[in-house]
Amino acid sequence: MASIKLYNKTGDEKAIKIQENLKMHFGKIPNVFKAMGRNGDFLEAVLKLSETAGKGLDNKTKELIMISVSAINGCTYCLDAHRTAALKNGITDEEITAAIEVAATISFFNSFNKAIDLESDLKSK
């Protein structure tokens, strides 16, 4: 259960219009866009940021990054959403698992190095 109100076409006029478009795209309004649905300017900005982030990367790479970050951050909602999208777009479970392995490994190294305040000796010139 969400800890904030979900706006199901009950936000401002702009939010309602955006949510109607999202419903046509997804077949429903995903809860994340209901949670953001109070303020159409905010919802529009978030969607634009999501659309433009990673320009120059192919969709497969972007999905695998989103899955990996979601897994490491512990966001089940995002992990489920992006895994579903990835599978629909031909990304295999093996590729998804491999991406999460890479993310988990670098997360381990990040935590270890931060914990001991390790001085970087591998900087690019």
Regarding whether 61 and 99 lie in a shared domain, the answer is yes
Regarding whether 37 and 16 lie in a shared domain, the answer is yes
Regarding whether 60 and 49 lie in a shared domain, the answer is no
Query: Could you report the per-residue pLDDT of 89-119, keeping only the tens digit for each?
Result: 999 999 999 999 999 999 999 999 999 999 9
Residue 124 belongs to a domain: no
78 in catalytic set: yes
Question: Is residue 47 within 8 Å of residue 73, measured between CB atoms?
Answer: no
Tell me what pLDDT residue 95 has: 98
75 in catalytic set: yes
Q: Would you place residue 2 in the very low, low, confident or very high pLDDT band (cuts 50, 70, 90)?
A: confident
Answering whether pTM is above 0.85, one says yes
Regarding whether 83 and 30 lie in a shared domain, the answer is no
DSSP-assigned states of every residue in 1-59: --SS---SS-S-HHHHHHHHHHHHHHSS--HHHHHTTT-HHHHHHHHHHHHHTTTTS-H
Residue 102 belongs to a domain: yes
The larger pLDDT score, comparing residue 2 to residue 93, is at 93
**Does position 1 have pLDDT exceeding 80, yes or no?**
no
Regarding whether 47 and 65 lie in a shared domain, the answer is no
Tell me what pLDDT residue 34 has: 97
Nearest to 103 by CA among 74, 71, 78, 79: 71
Residue 27 belongs to a domain: yes
Residue where a domain terminates, one of 38, 53, 68: 53
Regarding whether 63 and 95 lie in a shared domain, the answer is yes
Cα–Cα distance between 66 and 21 in angstroms, integer?
23
**Domain limits at 33?**
1-53
Query: Could you report the per-residue pLDDT of 57-85, keeping only the tens digit for each?
Result: 999 999 999 999 999 999 999 999 999 99
Active-site choice (75, 87, 95, 107): 75
Residue 100 belongs to a domain: yes
For residues 18-33, give the mean pLDDT. 97
User: HSE (CB half, 13 Å, CA atoms) of 42?
Assistant: 10
Residue 123 belongs to a domain: no
DSSP-assigned states of every residue in 77-124: HHHHHHHHHHHHTT--HHHHHHHHHHHHHHHHHHHHHHHTTPPP----
Question: Is residue 105 within 8 Å of residue 70, measured between CB atoms?
Answer: no
Tell me what pLDDT residue 125 has: 82
Distances (CA, A) of 115 to 28, 56, 108: 44, 34, 10
Active-site choice (46, 47, 78, 85): 78
Domain with residue 65: its CATH number is 1.20.1290.10
Q: Based on the structure, what is the number of domains in the chain? A: 2
